[in-house]
Structure 1
Amino acid sequence: MAAPIPPIRRHLESPELPRQLPALIDNLMEEIFVRITCPADLTRTSAACVTYRLLIADPTFLRRYRTRHPPLLLGFFSSEGYHPVEAPHPNAPAARALADMSFDYLPTGKSHHWSIRDVRDGRVLIQYRADDDDTLLPVAVCDPLSGQYQILPPIPHHEDHDYYNFDATFAPCAEANDETSFRVMGTVCGETEFVVLIFDSGSVSWTVSASASWEALSLIDESQPTEYPFLQRPFCVYGSLYWEVDEMHKLLKLDIDRMEFSTINLPFGHDKCHNVLVEAGEGRLGMFSRTVDRKSLNFYYYYNSMENEHQGGNEWEVKNVIPLPVHGSWAFYAQQGYTFLRGDRKVRDLVYTCYSLDIDTLKLETAIQLSSRYFRIYPYFGFPPSMTPKKI
């Protein structure tokens, strides 16, 4: 009689494995999906099956995806609304989905109008002004995708400050992980001093964060000692704000973390060159400046005194020269690793073309053509609506 066959241990019946396997597959798929560089491809992937859609729609996954990949240039905002980028720009299909964005939901009145002051991180900063006098009306932060907005509290009045010279811009936010947090910086150019106010989302009032006299900043024109300096719109570079001081060959810098002012000398002859300040990599300040003949852009690196000890001071150095696509073009804005240029193809043309210039690769792309009546425009970066959380 044959010996009985011993029972075979069934290792595959372990109760833990069926619970671990789906989680392992989900983690693997997430690692694959988060590496899809094109948001449109990710959207198509989510439509393949319910499992993919649930994984990709998860807020934690989307937050990780947005952190890993830069937002897309989708269009521009002007005083008349949103203008999506146009073909053959690679983002044109995604931009068309947002073509109906507007500010019709904002309160308006017969005696005042709104103007865009800044666009950053998917939000638009609106400043109201009265048509009939110098009254300063509220500032509002808008989420153009959701149609939500927040009107900020009144700016604290001070009898020594001319608040008609109040300006507002977005400032770097300390809560980088909270996508609903924002920070607005207000500035007041008074006759004797420059004042900075900060409003943090969730607070109830503005805070005076820094101030300095024009004399202490050495920004008084000796030929016109009673006139205060005129500051151009600021550029945000590595957590600091930079204003070009009109006709003085200087930059006024504000370190946001320390709330400290300093000044930087510009190269001689650059006070009217349409300078744009940018992040040049490794924490270095860079600048695009149009040449005198208006045919190209000089790209400068700024070296401070510690980096430039053999020269004994601060210095700007030309690192590259970029031919302009159209004679007379100039740079006007910088954000998300791009500098933006505009220019007419013909003399007195009724439209002008906007171009995006990648700061790292210096690749130039045509973005859009707009009416020449739009004096100021702002680039808008973002993701498709299905991938974008509410900003307010």
Structure 2
Amino acid sequence: MAPAAATIADLRDDLLQEVFIFLLTPADLIRAALACKPFLRAVRSASFLRRFRRRHPFTCPPVLGCFLDRPIEDHIHGASDPLLLPVSPAAATRRFVKGGDFALSFLPARGLPYPDLWKVLDCRNGSLLLRNRVSGELAVADPFTRRSVSLPAPPAKRPVGYGLVADDVDPSVFQAFCISRAGGGASSGLRALVLSSGDLRWANVAGLALAHKPDLADSRAMQANRSLYWGLKGSDRMMELNTVTMEFAVLELPPPTPSTRQFDFQVIDKGDDGCAGALYLLTMCDFCVEVWGGSEDGSGGLTWKLVDKSVRFQRAMVDMIGKSHFYQHRLDVIGVVAGGLFLRNGDRLLSIDLETMKLRVLSNEEKCPSALIYPYTVAWPPSFLKPTEESA
């Protein structure tokens, strides 16, 4: 008698996962998961979803738009609340954006006469790290679920930077970081405090001595390779905090050239697309975009190598925005997220797809020269793929 033919139900989850890991896009994975219950069960694995996300760092999670956080002065003078500008004109994207409360009206107002008491400090995986302008307390908020977690004010007298690390599968699991000055006089340094969502208590985890009083060039944190990065003001160096080992390091930036004596830079998280242990930076100077790869030199520093050719976008930007507007304002790098470079030119927001090098104007209407702008990504995967049988 011939043996019974094998069916899909006979395939083990680990075998299915080894097939699914080679799917080209997150959309392909979602379609496969919806095909049948065995496929959905195999995909609902936290460890598999982490592997798949690392394999697709530029598309998991998708960038929904740019979150605009206007300063308190704009609100007092009648400007609108914070909002999210969609990066795509697609109706589905706009409906998704409209489903969230990006005005942050669900946050406690503390009874003061103006509505905006909260300043955005960082934005990761659909969650916002905010600080109350009056009390100093912090909060982690999700505009889609309209939920927030109140955090105690960090025990730091001179904070200079903050960072948020949100879990890539469960955004309710997070770590909040506060970087503050330590010491005084001719020599000073930095210390790092961390608060985890599990116990909501601040802990002093790292210290770094510096010869000069440290000042972060931009308190907005960059993130890659399980580390947070900040540029050091007036220096050709940046600071790294490893969020696993809780160790500080100061890293040299790529060597300057006559054409790049001063440039904006952003850390790129390439995930498994990059070399293990390598750090990638995007630099922009005079409309020249370059990608550098840094590898350890054996003495705690990095050796930088140019890995991508530069591309000039000046003519394309002028054609899209208009010469009079373009040259009236400077060009600022907002960030590099999910394979996109986000820029601001006055009240215009632009993006460059680093894979196709396609330039797009995100907004010609919103007046945002004084706004803090954060590229906003949603936590991935969608809720129906969230693990239900394991928490690893």
- Which has the bigger relative contact order, CA under 8 A and spacing at least 6? 2
What is the root-mean-square deviation of aligned Cα atoms in Å?
Answer: 3.9
Query: TM-score normalized by structure 1?
Result: 0.69
Letter in 2 for 1:107: P
Letter in 2 for 1:68: F
Partner of 2:372: 376
Deviations 1:221-257, CA, capped at 9 Å, x for gaps = xxxxxx5434423321212222211112111222333
Partner of 1:105: 106
Determine the C-alpha separation between the residues in 2 that align with 1:314 and 1:302.
Answer: 5
| Pair 271,214 (structure 1): closer, same or farther in 2 beyond 3 Å | farther
Q: Percent identity?
A: 17
1:263 to 244, 250, 253: 250
The Cα shift of 1:60 comes to 5.6
Check conservation: 1:33, 1:42, Cα contact below 8 A.
no
Q: Which residues of 2 match residues 229-378 of structure 1 at below 5 A?
A: 229-232=215-218, 233-266=220-253, 267-268=255-256, 272-279=262-269, 281-282=274-275, 283-291=277-285, 294-306=286-298, 314-319=302-307, 320-324=309-313, 325-326=316-317, 329-336=331-338, 338-344=339-345, 351-358=347-354, 361=355, 363-366=357-360, 368-369=362-363, 370-373=366-369, 375-378=371-374
Query: TM-score normalized by structure 2?
Result: 0.69
Letter in 2 for 1:74: L
The Cα shift of 1:355 comes to 0.5
Q: Which residues of 2 match residues 172-211 of structure 1 at below 5 A?
A: 180-190=172-182, 191=184, 192-211=188-207
Check conservation: 2:20, 2:29, Cα contact below 8 A.
no
Q: Secondary structure at the match of 1:107?
A: coil
| Pair 240,97 (structure 1): closer, same or farther in 2 beyond 3 Å | closer
Letter in 2 for 1:321: S
Determine the C-alpha separation between the residues in 1 that align with 2:86 and 2:317.
Answer: 22
Deviations 1:59-79, CA, capped at 9 Å, x for gaps = 963865685352222122121
Bigger radius of gyration among the two: 1
Deviations 1:39-98, CA, capped at 9 Å, x for gaps = 49957995xxxxx586787696386568535222212212112222232xxx66334323
Structure 1 residues without counterparts, runs of 5 or longer: 1-10, 47-51, 131-135, 221-226
| Pair 214,36 (structure 1): closer, same or farther in 2 beyond 3 Å | closer
Determine the C-alpha separation between the residues in 2 that align with 1:380 and 1:387.
Answer: 21
Check conservation: 2:342, 2:375, Cα contact below 8 A.
no
Q: Which residues of 2 match residues 142-153 of structure 1 at below 5 A?
A: 142-153=141-152
| Pair 194,307 (structure 1): closer, same or farther in 2 beyond 3 Å | closer
Structure 2 residues without counterparts, runs of 5 or longer: 54-59, 70-81, 319-329, 388-392
1:214 to 201, 204, 210: 210
Q: Secondary structure at the match of 1:377?
A: strand
The Cα shift of 1:210 comes to 0.8
Q: Which residues of 2 match residues 19-58 of structure 1 at below 5 A?
A: 23-24=9-10, 35=23, 37=25, 39=27, 42=30
Deviations 1:277-310, CA, capped at 9 Å, x for gaps = 223511322222222xx232122222442499xx
Check conservation: 1:356, 1:364, Cα contact below 8 A.
yes
**1:125 and 2:129 equivalent?**
yes
Deviations 1:296-334, CA, capped at 9 Å, x for gaps = 2122222442499xxxx8543333202224266443212
Check conservation: 2:127, 2:166, Cα contact below 8 A.
no
Check conservation: 2:227, 2:240, Cα contact below 8 A.
yes
Tell me the number of residue pairs that the alignment of Structure 1 and Structure 2 aligns.
332
2:44 to 44, 49, 61: 61
Determine the C-alpha separation between the residues in 2 that align with 1:268 and 1:387.
Answer: 48
